[in-house]
Amino acid sequence: MTTESAFDTALSQLRRAVDQLGLSENEWQTLSTPRRILEVAVPLRRDNGNIEMYKGFRVQYSTTRGPSKGGVRFHPDIDLEETIALAMLMTWKCALTNLPYGGAKGGIAVDAATLSITENERLTRRYTSEILPIIGPERDIPAPDVGTDERNMAWMMDTYSVNAGFAVPGVVTGKPIVLGGSLGRTSATGDGVAISTREALIHRGINPEGATVAIQGFGKVGYWAAVALENMGLKIVAVSDVNGGVTGFSSVKALWDHFLLHNNLNAPGTDRLSNEELLHLPVDVLIPAALADSITAHTAPGIKAKIVVEGANAPTTPEGDAVLNEKGILVVPDILANSGGVIVSYFEWVQDKQNYFWDADEVKQNLNSIMMKAFKDVEDMATGRSVTWREAAHMLGVGRVAEAHRLRGLYP
Ligand code: NAD
């Protein structure tokens, strides 16, 4: 079990980056303070006529480098502290990848699986309406996260547009293509995880062709990472979801076909394994792509992978991280590894602003070049300063935000 909350962890990572960069106490104060926090009550009329109240949040952690940007999560356990922590991570992620954005996060403390489609729509629209004064293409641009998808983004775009009086596609990203979404957005985070995995293997002198991978989480990130890695010639040996894992499937495509039909991973010929057994498989690469805190002081000692690529946000606790470092396991940190999603979100926003849409190859090429640049920056910083890749990524992200603060100065 972790002894720190996601917020404490994010704050201590920031403190370390501030110290390593030699920034001042004034800069620490500025960087450790979220700019704007909105907590809203979101009433929902259930299909049976009952009215229930849910808590919603939107945190704009930073707007220094541009409009804030970040996902909307529907999950029963989210609270304000965790939302601030995730908004902080988005800030460093956007700066690390040199996107002209600050960082944000939001969501509703609700289990989306308990909502009918009509209830989900009413809740999404009411939440959008409550946070409407602080979002917009030039202010803050939400996107999908755990428990939300392109359907929620379509409802958010429509609610905002109806209030504006005209269509405003650039208010959210991760939309359906016909509403101004970008080709390649659905698979973007997984594609970026795959690029990070390939480059980390090359860095460690391992041939990606035939390298073995285990993936925890078979959702939007885990599934698309598996598809991209398989296309690159790697071997996905195990995947899991909330109900546990499987090994022994012939291909990711075959497993997905079974999942679509039966809503479980138990395809014929596969063997079951627990989520902990998956974490401890003797593979080249382990990809946690589910929720936070899966690699802990308890689970890290048994990890045999040579490389951990963090598809999820904050999947490793500080205690787990210390164990991985002691064992000499290379960790590609979340703010680098899963940045593909926000990078293609940025492309979507640019295309919406220009009303000019790119083909899929252009999206993939531009994603690859931004990811490769960020990867190289982190690799060079880690080597040059003899720090971990997580520390290097935070130093780059935090350093760029601090520089933007310095150059803008303080008003008044
Ligand atoms: P998702 O809801 O689509 O998928 C989550 C997957 O994890 C599902 O397969 C679920 O069954 C599985 N899961 C949940 N609890 C689990 C557990 N205890 N053990 C094993 N598996 C479990 O969510 P997603 O969009 O794929 O996001 C996953 C992570 O990646 C989150 O941390 C999210 O913040 C992060 N992330 C997502 C994106 C994106 O573009 N979707 C971008 C960056 C980061």
For β-strands 244-247 and 271-273, DSSP reports them as: antiparallel
Which residues are identified as catalytic? 105
Chain Cα centroid distance, residue 55: 22
For ligand 1, the distance from its centroid to the CA atom of residue 412, given in whole angstroms, is: 42
> Ligand 1 in contact with 152 (CB < 6 A)?
no
Cβ atoms of residues 292 and 81 within 8 Å: no
> Ligand 1 in contact with 86 (CB < 6 A)?
no
**For residue 334, which atom of ligand 1 is closest to its CA?**
44
Half-sphere exposure (Cβ direction) of 151: Cα atoms closer than 13 Å: 10
For ligand 1, the distance from its centroid to the CA atom of residue 387, given in whole angstroms, is: 28
pLDDT of residue 291: 83
pLDDT of residue 1: 43
Closest to 378 (Cα-Cα) out of 364, 365, 391, 367: 391
**For residue 339, which atom of ligand 1 is closest to its CA?**
43
**For residue 245, which atom of ligand 1 is closest to its CA?**
20
Sign of CA pseudo-dihedral 132, 67, 173, 39: negative
Do the domains 188-337 and 36-172 match in fold? yes
Question: How is the chain split into domains, by residue range?
Answer: 36-172, 188-337
> Ligand 1 in contact with 216 (CB < 6 A)?
yes
Residue whose CA lies nearest to ligand 1 atom number 31:
312
Q: According to the CATH classification, is domain 36-172 in 3.40.50.10860?
A: yes
> Ligand 1 in contact with 242 (CB < 6 A)?
yes
* Superfamily for the 188-337 domain: NAD(P)-binding Rossmann-like Domain (3.40.50.720)
> Ligand 1 in contact with 311 (CB < 6 A)?
yes
> Ligand 1 in contact with 174 (CB < 6 A)?
no
User: How many of the other CB atoms lie within 10 Å of CB of 123?
Assistant: 25
For ligand 1, the distance from its centroid to the CA atom of residue 93, given in whole angstroms, is: 18
For ligand 1, the distance from its centroid to the CA atom of residue 92, given in whole angstroms, is: 20
pLDDT in tens, the chain (412 residues): 445 788 999 999 999 999 999 999 999 999 999 999 999 999 999 999 999 999 999 999 999 999 999 999 999 999 999 999 999 999 999 999 999 999 999 999 999 999 999 999 999 999 999 999 999 999 999 999 999 999 999 999 999 999 999 999 999 999 999 999 999 999 999 999 999 999 999 999 999 999 999 999 999 999 999 999 999 999 999 999 999 999 999 999 999 999 999 999 999 999 999 999 999 999 999 999 998 899 999 999 999 999 999 999 999 999 999 999 999 999 999 999 999 999 999 999 999 999 999 999 999 999 999 999 999 999 999 999 999 999 999 999 999 999 999 999 999 9
Residue whose CA lies nearest to ligand 1 atom number 42:
341
> Ligand 1 in contact with 338 (CB < 6 A)?
yes
Probe ligand 1: pick from 242, 310, 371, max atoms within 8 Å of CB? 242
3-state secondary structure 364-399: HHHHHHHHHHHHHHHHHHHHHHCCCHHHHHHHHHHH
Closest to 339 (Cα-Cα) out of 91, 59, 106: 91
Q: Which two tokens stand for residue 361?
A: 């190859």
> Ligand 1 in contact with 291 (CB < 6 A)?
yes
Cβ atoms of residues 86 and 6 within 8 Å: yes
Q: Which two tokens stand for residue 208?
A: 């990606």
Phi, psi of 70 (to 5 degrees): 175, 165
Cβ atoms of residues 341 and 143 within 8 Å: yes
